[in-house]
Every structure is written in C-alpha cells, then in structure tokens.
Amino acid sequence: MSQEFFLDLVQELKASGTTILLSAHQMDLVERVADRVLLMNRGREILSGAMTQLRARLDGRVRLVLTLENGGDGARLREDPDVDDVTSEAGELRVTLRSGAAIPSFIARAVALAPIRSVVTETPRLHEVFVRAVRDDDAGDRA
C-alpha cells in the first residue's frame, strides 16, 4: 500500500507541473511514473530520453504476441524469413521480427501456417532495455 500511495503522490505532483527526480532500481516502478529516463552503469550515462526513444534506439525490431487456438502449433513460423526469434508459452508465441520486416505480410503468412486467434504488438519493458544497454556498455568496455 505504501508503494501505491507513493505512486499516487508522484502522479499528483506530476499533474501539477512539479519536476520530480527519482532514483530507483525497480524498472517497473520507473516505467509507471517517468516521462524521461536516464540509465546509468558504473556512474556513467548509457542511455537517456523518453521511454519510446530508449526502446527504439536499443531495439527497433517489432515484437508480436500471437495467441493460438487450442492445440495450435506455431513451430512452422520459425522458418519465416522475417522471423528473428520465437518463444512459446501457454498457447502464446512471442515473435520478434527482423528489423524492417513488413508486419502485414508476416501476419498474412502466419495465418496460413498456424491457427491464430489474436495478434498484439509487445513493447520491450524498461528492464529489458536497461539489461541490454548495460551488456552493450560492458562489452564496449572490454573491447
């Protein structure tokens, strides 16, 4: 309840035009309240900007969640030329398309290959953005 009270207070202050500087390690919390983010690694800035900018700069690939009809199998979707990655869990496929892939064309092909009930785009979570940015930053330090 304390966290919800805090979030409500921050939202009220934000709505009144108050600038709030928040330092946090809980990316889900940051994602709920922040307009702009500064990500740091070892005391250095590694990414900053609005949430949409951070996500797009780090990974411009489209991610889709495909819900399959009962018993549906989307294994054949892995072979699609526009697919970069597929993970499966409880009747849902999370499909990451290659950069520049045409979504309508992919969906048309996917419907022919698997019994799809719904398609939703998925936005990378701030935690994923942060982890990838830190890994990239650490790899750059080793190089």
- Per-residue pLDDT reduced to its tens digit, 37-53: 998 988 999 889 998 78
Average pLDDT score over residue span 109-136: 86
142-123-13 Cα angle (round to 5):
95
88 lies in the same domain as 43: no
Residue 38 sits at φ, ψ, to 5 deg, of -120, 115
pLDDT at 83: 94
Q: Are residues 47 and 87 in the same domain?
A: no
Q: Are residues 49 and 85 in the same domain?
A: no
Examine the domain organization and report whether 48 and 65 are in the same domain.
no
Q: Mark whether 64 and 116 lie in a shared domain.
A: yes
Residue 132: inside a domain = no
Decide if pLDDT at 106 tops 90. yes
The answer to whether 41 and 137 have CB atoms below 8 angstroms apart is: yes
* Model pTM score: 0.61
**Residue with more model confidence, 57 or 16:** 16
pLDDT at 132: 82
Q: What is the pLDDT of residue 55?
A: 73
The domain spanning residue 78 has which CATH number? 3.30.70
Which range marks the domain in which residue 108 is found?
Answer: 60-122
Mean pLDDT, range 25-30, rounded to an integer: 86
Structurally, the chain folds into a number of domains equal to 2
Q: Per residue in 37-94, pLDDT tens? A: 998 988 999 889 998 788 777 666 788 999 988 766 778 888 999 999 898 887 788 9
Q: Answer yes or no: do 94 and 112 share one domain.
A: yes
Q: Do the strands 44-50 and 36-41 form a parallel or antiparallel pair, or are they unpaired?
A: antiparallel
Do 116 and 68 sit in the same domain of this protein?
yes
Residues in the chain: 143
78/104 same-domain check:
yes
